[in-house]
A and B are shown apart, each in its own frame.
Chain A
Amino acid sequence: MDNFFLWLGMGLFFLVLLCLYRGVFGPGVLNRVAAISAIGTKTLVILLIMGYIYQRVDMFVDISMVYALLNFLGTITVAKYLEMSGEI
């Protein structure tokens, strides 16, 4: 089961690298925000899988919760800023 978690985490890490392409080269700030939000969602699951690999899920679940909260707050803030400034 450890090997399964290891491969799953590596696969998710590869997906994060693919999303990072859109985050770096994506045309405009909106594409970048969408890519960063997607990366944050994947990172949340990667953190929990790391917890299972290191046998310390009770620690990593708290970090994962805070990561989800800050990802949500960051996306809402950027959306609010773009909506107020009125230009992309």
Chain B
Amino acid sequence: MNIMQALSIPFLLGGFFFFLAATVGLLRFPDFYTRLHATGKGDTLAVLLSLIGLSVYEGFSFTAVKILFIAVFMFLAQPTSTHAISRAAMRCGLKPWVKK
């Protein structure tokens, strides 16, 4: 195991941790907006960390560049889709949850 492969392990474990946090948020939060808050932010960071870790593991090659390209794509696409679906919910008249 060389230095690049060892360097990728913290990134991958960090990505897994944020995936776990986003999933717990999706399961446990009280209403739609809070659940979307958890998955929107958590999944974006987690997928960025995981893809950076995988491209560091790959080293200098064309495949690593393509993995980084997926990371840039997800960095644009994930917040946009979260925004679109929360906007649709707002337009449909879904009220945010308030603590009684």
Q: How many A-B residue pairs have CB under 8 A?
A: 128
| Chain B residue, CB-CB nearest to A59 | B63
Consensus secondary structure, chain B interface: helix
Task: With both chains docked as a complex, state the minimum distance between the C-beta of B72 and any C-beta of chain A, in angstroms.
Answer: 11
Chain A residue numbers with a CB within 8 Å of B32 are 28, 30-31, 34
Chain B: number of interface residues, binned into ranges: 35 or more
Give the secondary structure class of A's interface.
helix
Residues of B within 8 A of A (CB): 1, 5, 9, 12, 15-16, 19-20, 22-23, 26-27, 32, 35-36, 39, 43, 46-47, 50-51, 54, 57-58, 62-63, 66-67, 69-70, 73-74, 77-78, 80-82, 84-85, 87-89, 91-94
Closest 5 A-B residue pairs measured CB to CB? Answer: A79-B84, A75-B81, A72-B77, A83-B88, A82-B88
**Additional A-B contact list (12), CB under 8 Å, known A44-B47, A45-B50:** A22-B26, A22-B27, A30-B92, A30-B94, A34-B32, A41-B74, A45-B51, A52-B57, A72-B78, A80-B88, A82-B85, A83-B87
